[in-house]
Amino acid sequence: RKEVEQDPGPFNVPEGATVAFNCTYSNSASQSFFWYRQDCRKEPKLLMSVYSSGNEDGRFTAQLNRASQYISLLIRDSKLSDSATYLCVVIYSGNTPLVFGKGTRLSVIA
């Protein structure tokens, strides 16, 4: 199975900090990319899709670098409620399942 790799962390940052996560994928033909968030003992929730041109949703910015085969997630002005595990997800083609990274754990500290 093609791999999606993430730094497991934990990333411990103070409130208000900016933090960035990267995720690398192995298949250059990958088609679709997403970031999910998972809180402790909860199901993963779709945070945002990642588009080639990059996209922003409030304090969150996602970018795709096809040449280097990585995606990134930037969180500005971190809140305590941002503490969670962030999962990188790749779809290699329309006929294949979502491939999840193992996640990066973020703790935002007061």
Does 29 help bind other proteins (rule: CB under 8 A)?
no
Does 86 help bind other proteins (rule: CB under 8 A)?
no
Query: Exposure pattern of 64-94 as b/e (b: 16+ CB <10 Å)?
Result: beeeeebbbbebeebeeebbbbbbbbbbbee
Q: Which of residues 8-27 bind other proteins (CB under 8 A)?
A: none
Does 31 help bind other proteins (rule: CB under 8 A)?
yes
Name the strand (E) or helix (H) holding 88. Answer: strand 84-91
Pick from 64, 89, 106, 108 the residue near other proteins by CB under 8 A.
89
Q: Are strands 45-50 and 84-91 parallel, antiparallel or unpaired?
A: unpaired
Pick from 11, 63, 90, 103 the residue near other proteins by CB under 8 A.
103
Q: Which residues of this chain interact with other proteins, rule CB under 8 A?
A: 1, 31-32, 34, 36, 42-46, 49, 87, 89, 91, 94-103
